[in-house]
Structure 1
Amino acid sequence: MTLLDLDARWRRFNDPDRACPCCGQSFSGIFDIGFDHPDAWPYGERLGDSGDDLTVGEDRLGSDLCRLGPQRFVRCILPLPLRGSEEVFYFGVWASVAPEAFYAYLDASLGEEPAFEGCAGLLENALPGFDLPALTPGILVPGGPGERPRLMAQADTPLAKAQADGISFDDLLDIYAASGQDIRPHLQKD
């Protein structure tokens, strides 16, 4: 049992058998929020889950890599531990990286040596629930086999503090609300 298990809203949030009295909606715990493309990408979203890249001239957006003019982007995950539990919420974000780091990551993802060792990067998505400076600096840390790298904030920002200290359940609900998914009313008393 974790400290957060004492919160009735948390229990309702993690109970897929519980239906909201007002609408019947149910939840089965933390769900992540991902971004289809870096905020700088001007051409819109990739089309569906077909796996096809979106190419406009020399610019290209794939599921994990993006090229926009001279800029190079890598899709990564940004972890935020949830205080009082053993859970972690993830943003699926994009980071701009130097071209040599981009190609090192690409080579490593294709199974070529050497393995990706990580690199500096800049967060390229505005995160709901956070008031961050543009292009928050971070470090991309390699993930395990088949995993995207993790982006760890390196600036003195609320994001770096949230990664170090964790976020509260109320913070998580605020992030969901800021992303257009306000589930707070559905977790109230039955």
Structure 2
Amino acid sequence: MDAHLARMLTSARQCRCCGATFAQLLSLSCDRPDVCSDDLVVQDNSAVLEERGDVLTEDFCRYGKLRFVRAVLALPLADSRGAEFLLGTWASLNEDDFDAYLDLFDMRETESMGSRPAWLANAIPPESGAPVACMLHMRPEGEYPELQVSESNNALARLQQTGVQLEELLELLYAYGHDLPSLVYDS
């Protein structure tokens, strides 16, 4: 394993641009689907059941006719013996799948849904553009479902298959405003 990657995976770091401290490799999390208005306030999950209209909670979003659930997009790290970089993202589901997921969420039984077609609702990297077709794989014990990119010609699909190199990961982090290269190479 690359020594720089090993340090990123095992030692605490502080991002110089935002001050956040990370005990291990930084994972990113999008706070809302890209189409969702920035002025929509994040509420408790119960709001999705109690309110009508547009609602953004920690794990669900209803925006117009669109429905979203919180998900993860895992990118294996090349030459790391199984380590992954996790992106907390949002997945767009059809209304029936969204309702079924919502019904099973509190019981931690979403795994019974299996896999469902979905769209990655966040542009990764930020300038990448249009939504990406995916399969949303439900996971056990209340874990967020995992997105697997379906579009074989998409760069994220390649990264999910072959793994992300350290330099590619640093470029991705930099695109989101984190200056981690200096933390890796200065230590």
* The two structures share one fold, judged by TM-score above 0.5: yes
Q: Distance in 2 between matches of 1:113 and 1:16?
A: 35
Alpha-carbon distance between aligned partners in 1 of 2:53 and 2:14, rounded to the nearest angstrom: 49
Alpha-carbon distance, 1:11 to partner: 4.0
The aligned counterpart of 2:116 is 119
Change in Cα spacing, 1:124 to 1:178, as seen in structure 2 (3 Å) is: same
Structure of greater Rg: 1
Q: Which residue pairs with 1:65 in the alignment?
A: 60
Distance 1:175 1:110 in 2: 33
Whether 1:183 aligns to 2:180 is yes
Q: Is the contact made by 1:12 and 1:18 (CA closer than 8 Å) also made in structure 2? A: no
- 3-state SS, counterpart of residue 113 of structure 2: coil
Match of 1:103 among 74, 99, 105: 99
Task: Kindly indicate which of the two structures has a greater share of residues assigned to helix.
Answer: 2
CA distance in 1, matches of 2:70, 2:102: 12
Match of 2:79 among 79, 84, 95: 84
- Do residues 154 (structure 1) and 150 (structure 2) align? yes
| 1:111 to 1:178, Cα distance in 2 relative to 1, 3 A | same
Q: Does residue 168 of the first structure (1) align with residue 147 of the second (2)?
A: no
Distance change (3 Å), C-alpha of 1:47 and 1:110: closer
TM-score, length basis structure 2: 0.81
1:133-169 deviations in Å (ceiling 9; x for gaps): 5011000001111101001100020111111111011
Aligned equivalent of 2:36? 41
Q: Give the distance between the partners of 1:108 and 1:19, measured in 2 at CA.
A: 38
Structure 1 unaligned blocks of 5 or more: none
Tell me the SS of whatever aligns to 1:120.
strand
Measured at CA, do residues 94 and 34 of structure 1 come closer, stay the same or move farther in structure 2, by a change above 3 Å? same
Contact 1:81–1:88, Cα closer than 8 Å, also in 2:
yes
TM superposition score normalised by structure 1: 0.80
